[in-house]
Chains A and B, each alone.
Chain A
Amino acid sequence: MNPALAAARAGLSRGRIEFKQTLTTPRDLISILITTGIFLAVMIWTRHTQVPGTHFSLGTATLVSVLALDVVYYGVVNMGDLIVVEREDGTLLRAKAIPNGMLGYLLGKVVNFSGQIAFVFAIMLLTGALLFTGLAIGRPGSWLTLAWVLVLGLLATLPLGAVLGSLFPSQRSAGPWWLLLLAGLAAISGIFYPITHLPVLLQWTGQAFPMYWLALGMRSALLPNAMAAVEVGHSWRHLATFGVLSAWAIAGLVLAPAVLRRMARRESGSTVAARREKAMRGA
């Protein structure tokens, strides 16, 4: 078998194993369920509030938009954070010490986080179908749109997460930035409130990042068509969504290999040992 193909297959199975580990490790599972649960609780609370200018449930609209937040959270923040951690603890060095190990490692991460995102989507949509009104999950077009937006979203976020993770020197230094990044993006991406109510400058800033477009795409898939009326330009702007998400995906895919290679090149037994000593002293 071709070595790269063998490594790719190993990577897929690595992702499956890691995903299974996430679901069977109580701490991880509970943390997923709690974050998802908190969002759902807020939405249930705002179920009877209406999106300004419509008679549509704000809770339902938020539920759909939060799916975009989830993609960015798992795809960029968790992916990046795990790369920082696994660089520190030597997992990456092990990958580097085996033939085509980095390929398998990264593919494993992609599978693992895609699995986690699918898992969270399932919880959200199931709850949405049972407890919320107005979710347009009956039409086949919804699922088709959801599928391409999600795939593009994964491509736009996962490589970006790997790049950001490679840039932070340690987990401790990375922590606060992730939170700032996520909260800041959510605030200007129209996740909890329509973006049209923000100052124009912030509207433009929000539209430069993938989270806004992911959320718009999710809303176009899962909300009634009439809801396009409260969006920028009164349209779902599918073409622009495709364009911006693709641009982020291409940028990430072009940048990631070089940045990851640079990071991996610096890894050796002594760099990992030095970090271990530093962590032990700090602990």
Chain B
Amino acid sequence: MEDVLDVRDLRMRYAKTDVLNGVSFAARRGEVLALLGPNGAGKTTTIEILEGFRMRSAGEVSVLGTDPARAGEAWRARTGVVLQSWRDHRRWQVRELLAHLGRYYAPYSTASVRRPWDVDDLLETVGLTGHARKRVQTLSGGQRRRLDVAIGIVGRPELLFLDEPTAGFDPEARRDFHDVVHRLADREEATILLTTHDLDEAERLADRILILAGGTIIADGSADELSRAMSGQSEVRWSRDGQRFVHAADDATAFVRELFRQYGESVEDLEVRRASLEDTYMALVRQAEQGAPRRLTVVAA
């Protein structure tokens, strides 16, 4: 199947600084990709190049089969960008704005993809039905972000870009947003590329995680695959005779078996924890910063 995203050896240089030096990855249709990385790693630069908002210095980029640097309005109609609102369109009513922005997509409707998204259905999907008649400036921060998401998907994009979509969300809004993303990926078969600092969110949403550090992708795989490949070590905690113990084991099962064989019933409060995505992430980024350029790629089974 043709890849929705295909990035090869992407390079970006500002003045004398190389921000991206050889980023490569691909995404299939319906995949949700999370792009992680420390601040300044080039996540936003990467996503803006793919959105067609920024010119790259070198490399090959194909987005929905087209080079975004030369893509036209028909390509634009198949993509969605969730932007962070600030003060724009503050006098517009929520429903009025969505209906207006949807009109631009109508000529790009196809037999398989009806564009734009029905406004009332869309309001329902992002949980703004009760605020349809409100002016944008009267919305709370969380409601505004829901509106941002609605604007990003009003054209029923085949590919959606989300740059830190849940920054400033409360837990409930975050949960709702995750539902929307799942619905888009599963029912609409949209491909989604998101950047986030929230590792929990990446683990929950993404089929695949890309870690960008030092201008290249240092890891590419599912959260589970990454932690397994990165460190087979698990943390085992237990207590015995009122004393607490912690041990990092390569083979937790064998270690626990041995533990019980030796101490039997005196072992209490047993906990076995596999390395979390956060541990994996920290270890990988630290490794990259110390100048060990190796790429950890896990081929999906």
Contacts and interface: CB of A to CB of B under 8 A. Distances in A.
Given A3-B74, A21-B91, A269 B163 contact: yes
Contact of B74 (A6, A10, A96, A99): A99
Interface stretch (B23-31, B95-103, B239-247, B260-268): B95-103
B107 interface: yes
Given A98-B155, A270-B48, A14 B100 contact: yes
B88 A98 contact: no
A252 interface: no
Contact of B53 (A2, A91, A101, A267): A267
Given A1-B106, A99-B76, A268 B54 contact: yes
Contacts, number: 90
Contact of B105 (A25, A89, A99): A99
B84 interface: yes
Contacts of A9: 103
B177 to A, nearest CB: 18
Given A99-B108, A269-B44, A94 B163 contact: no
B86 A3 contact: no
Interface residues of B, number: 33
B86 A6 contact: no
A6 B103 contact: yes
B164 to A, nearest CB: 9
A104 interface: yes
A17 interface: yes
B18 to A, nearest CB: 17
Nearest to A6: B107
11 contacts: A1-B106, A13-B103, A17-B100, A90-B85, A99-B76, A101-B104, A267-B53, A268-B51, A268-B53, A269-B44, A270-B45
A86 B100 CA distance: 17
B16 interface: no
A25 B91 CA distance: 9
B92 interface: yes
Interface in A123-145: none
Interface of B: 44-45, 47-48, 51, 53-54, 73-74, 76-77, 81, 83-89, 91-92, 96, 100-101, 103-108, 151, 155, 163
A1 to B, nearest CB: 5
Cβ-closest 9 pairs across A and B: A268-B53, A99-B77, A91-B88, A89-B87, A99-B73, A3-B107, A10-B103, A97-B81, A99-B76
Contacts of B163: 269
A17 B92 CA distance: 8
A91 B104 contact: no
Contact of B48 (A6, A21, A104, A269): A269
Contacts of A272: 83-84, 86
Interface of A: 1-3, 6-7, 9-10, 13-14, 17, 21, 25, 86, 89-91, 93-94, 96-101, 104, 267-270, 272-273, 276
A3 B88 CA distance: 24
Contacts of A276: 86
Contact of A90 (B45, B83, B92, B105): B83
Nearest to A25: B91
A69 to B, nearest CB: 27
A89 B88 CA distance: 5
Nearest to A101: B104
Contact of A10 (B83, B87, B91, B100): B100
A61 B44 CA distance: 58
A98 B104 contact: yes
B91 A269 contact: no
B88 A104 contact: no
B104 A99 contact: yes
Contacts of B100: 10, 13-14, 17
Contacts of A267: 53
A92 B196 CA distance: 25
B48 A1 contact: no
Given A10-B103, A98-B77, A268-B54, 5 more contacts: A90-B87, A94-B83, A94-B101, A99-B108, A276-B86
A78 B10 CA distance: 42
Contacts of B88: 86, 89-91, 94
A94 B151 contact: yes
Given A98-B76, A268-B54, A270-B44, A93 B83 contact: yes
Given A17-B92, A25-B91, A90-B86, A3 B108 contact: yes
Nearest to B55: A265
A8 to B, nearest CB: 10
Nearest to B135: A21
Given A268-B51, A272-B83, A276-B86, A104 B104 contact: yes
A87 to B, nearest CB: 10
